[in-house]
Amino acid sequence: MATIRLGDKAPDFTADSSVGTINLYDYLGDSWGILFSHPADFTPVCTTELGTAAKFKGEFDKRNVKMMALSVDGAVSHAEWIKDINEVQETVVNFPIIADEDRTVSNLYDMIHPNADSTLTVRSVFIIAPDKTVKLILTYPASTGRNFHELLRVIDSLQLTAYHKVATPANWESGQDVVVSPSIPTDEAREIFKKGVEEVKPYLRMTPDPTF
């Protein structure tokens, strides 16, 4: 079984899904991607998550992020589950759910943790950059639903720091001050960041969000 770490290339795969056969790299194209796994179809927490994900699709679209879910059940089961999700969550599932009955994708992404469950996938999240490298991995227990506001916050941080020499501090949200990269001397930072640089400590310099 593979172990995926930050910076690794996201393993490509072709699989059946709720919208037909899908290839990961073709589906993502030049976009960012988010792949999240679910233990099984017709599970209560996952039903709330997939409904919430559908409602957040517009926010992911704004950020050029394509969504995919995965469960170890088949496409026919997915289709029936989607009916339930749409009904109880009052939404329309608007992204593919990968069918992974043979656990091929689950094993590629190390989604089965035997000490948690020997056959079902844990609740994992992978955020994939346009160059197909893995930028974030989160793993939740089956009892804890994901926070989609946090996933958007993380994507905002990843996209900001991919294109600017900054990092984001604790509890940061888009538009708030950011941390100047430690690799940049303060004098150089003041040339780069025209909105100003506050030196809190020699190693901690803050500047306004450069995208605002």
Whose CA is closest to 109, among 117, 167, 118, 100?
100
Assigned fold of 14-145:
Glutaredoxin (3.40.30)
For 59, the token pair is 């926010």
Please state, in angstroms and as integers, the Cα–Cα distance from residue 187 to each residue in 28, 124, 151, 184, 197, following that order. Answer: 40, 42, 34, 8, 9
Res 2: pLDDT:
63
Q: Counting runs of H as helices and runs of E as strands, what totals does the chain give?
A: 7, 11
Q: What is the pLDDT of residue 81?
A: 95
CA 176 to CA 113: how far, in whole Å?
37
pLDDT digits over 81-129, tens only? 999 999 999 999 999 999 999 889 988 998 876 555 545 556 899 999 9
Closest Cα partner for 11 from 35, 40, 39? 35
Q: Is 46 a catalytic residue?
A: yes
What share of the chain in percent tops pLDDT 90? 83
pLDDT reported for residue 40? 83
Asked, colleague to colleague, whether 14-145 and 164-207 share their fold, the answer is no
* Rounded CA separation 57/59 (Å): 5
Report the pLDDT value the prediction gives residue 122, as an integer from 0 to 100. 65
Q: What is the CATH topology of the domain spanning 164-207? A: Antioxidant, Horf6; Chain A, domain 2 (3.30.1020)
pLDDT in tens, 37-87: 988 889 999 999 999 999 999 999 999 999 999 998 999 999 999 999 999
Which candidate in 24, 46, 68, 134 is catalytic? Answer: 46
User: What are the residue boundaries of the structural domains of the chain, listed by start?
Assistant: 14-145, 164-207
